Amino acid sequence: MTDAAELRERTRSLLAAHPPAGTDRLDFLRARFDAGLAWVHYPEGLGGLGASRSLQPVVDAELQAAGAPDNDPRRNGIGLGMAAPTILRYGTEEQQRRYLRPLWTGEEVWCQLFSEPGAGSDLAALGTRAVRGESGDWIVNGQKVWTSGAHLARWAILIARTDPDLPKHQGITYFICDMTDPGVEVRPLRQITGEAEFNEVFLTDVRIPDDRRLGEIGDGWRVAQTTLMNERVSIGGMRIPREGGMINPVVRTWRERPELRTPDLHQRLLTLWVEAEVVRLTGERLRQQLAAGQPGPEGSGMKLAFARLNQEISGLEVELRGEEGLFYDDWTLRRPELVDFTGRDAGYRYLRAKGNSIEGGTSEVLLNIVAERVLGLPAEPRTDKDVAWKDLSR
């Protein structure tokens, strides 16, 4: 089993063979992947060495100290946090070798075609159809919505209904969709912030070869659960330093602007600071649990806490700053590559945090998951569970 000392030696060998100062950024990232130092817990040949996930910080620290470039993980969060673990678990060897390397290096950005305007929070009620053609390819028609980064993406993870005669959680199949194919149309959705980081995507007679199917036909719901559990961990369980994240600009303003302080705001800030630290430490504990296996429903609890805390902190910041807290000086229709909470105005943070309780699973859905799968409470009645999808009222 690979240990920390061996990883340090491998990392130093990589740096010696490819000095960051004199090596093209993309060439360095490719070499790092090929050396097994991208995801050390992935198998050999797929960016890893079969080591413990907990040893990844050993590699990252050595590379950071040497000034090595990273793969700009925020730009391809859906690919790294959701598509990659799903491809690793359900993809064929050919799929793993084709997609994982350019995904990790950032050469190919990914998006997620799950949510639909007609299904709301009930993802299993999706209506996008995939019909098998005579050639064996799948012909896909439908509409997806709230698709982050679709305007930047080369590939998408997609679920579509392949058998409407089965209940809604069955008859779904999981595909990889080429966003450059004919029939894929991406339209911007303007948000309350004025930006358009989200999109709606229309699929019209999009042809997907069967070798871009992940998992078995009709098993898409089970495959999608791997994606969703990883999504909630990647959103709610991000590694941040102490006093990092959304609490940072509020605390900084408090220290630098004593004239804004009041006893009430002081008490609220202390409470939120403690809660932010609890959430941060809980995230560290969750990542330690992940080192031993697949993510579970605990990630839903983390994402739930993350959304609530961000909204409360951003609201406090607006109150603390008073009139100036409402300022938001770049209210324009932009198509951003990254969502940057801390590098923007307080008004932007307040508005953008409203989406935290919707994206990555609504807070209402996550409350059900925590109640049933973490606390063991009785499940809510589901009268449509055994009804064929085609017979459901819509």
Give 170-204 pLDDT, tens digit per residue: 999 999 999 999 999 999 998 888 888 889 999 99
pLDDT value at 252 more than 70: yes
Cβ atoms of 73 and 103 closer than 8 Å: no
Q: Give the closest residue to 185 by CA, choosing from 123, 141, 127.
A: 141
**Average pLDDT, whole number, for the chain?**
90
CA pair distance 30, 28, nearest whole angstrom = 5
The CATH architecture to which 224-374 belongs is Up-down Bundle (1.20)
For residue 118, name the pLDDT band (cuts at 50, 70, 90).
confident
Burial of 175 (0-12, 13-18, 19+ CB in 10 A): buried
Position 300 pLDDT exceeds 80? no
List the catalytic residue out of 231, 277, 317, 380: 231
User: Model pTM?
Assistant: 0.87
pLDDT at residue 361 in the model: 74
For residue 104, what is the enclosing H or E element?
helix 93-105
Checking if the pLDDT of 313 tops 80, the result is: yes
Amino acid, res. 194: G
Per-residue model confidence (pLDDT) at position 315: 95
What average pLDDT score do residues 25-34 get?
A: 98
What's the token pair of residue 157? Answer: 């993870």
**pLDDT tens, 343-366?**
788 988 999 999 888 887 788 888
Name the one residue in this structure whose structure tokens are 């993309």: 26
Please confirm, yes or no, whether 231 is among the known catalytic residues: yes
C-alpha 285/C-alpha 236 separation (Å) is 12
- Interatomic CA distance for residues 201 and 223, integer angstroms: 22
The strand ranges marked E within the chain are 110-113, 129-132, 138-144, 155-161, 172-178, 184-189, 198-208, 213-214
User: Treating both helix axes as pointing N-terminal to C-terminal, what angle do 263-290 and 298-321 enclose, rounded to 10 degrees?
Assistant: 160
CB atoms closer than 10 angstroms to residue 32: 24
Nearest to 189 by CA among 150, 146, 149, 143: 146
- Residue 299 pLDDT > 80: no
pLDDT at position 289: 61
Q: Average pLDDT for residues 298-316, to the nearest whole number?
A: 87
Domain boundaries, the chain: 4-70, 110-218, 224-374
Residue 234 pLDDT > 90, yes or no? Answer: no
> Is the CATH number 3.40.1190.20 carried by domain 110-218?
no
- Give the residue, 288 or 264, on which the prediction is more confident: 264
What is the three-class DSSP state of 236? helix
Amino acid at site 371: A
Check pLDDT > 70 for residue 330. no
State the sign of the Cα–Cα–Cα–Cα dihedral 290, 292, 296, 301: negative
Amino acid at 319: E
**Whole-number percent of the chain with pLDDT over 90:** 63
- Report the alpha-carbon distance of residue 202 to residue 189 in Å, rounded: 13
Please choose, from the candidates 48, 106, 103, the residue with its C-alpha nearest in 3D space to the C-alpha of residue 72. 106
Residue 173 has a pLDDT of 98
Q: What average pLDDT score do residues 28-49 get? A: 97
CA separation for the pair 162, 213 (Å, rounded): 12
Across residues 154-163, what is the average pLDDT?
A: 98
- Kindly tell me if the per-residue pLDDT of 293 is higher than 70: no
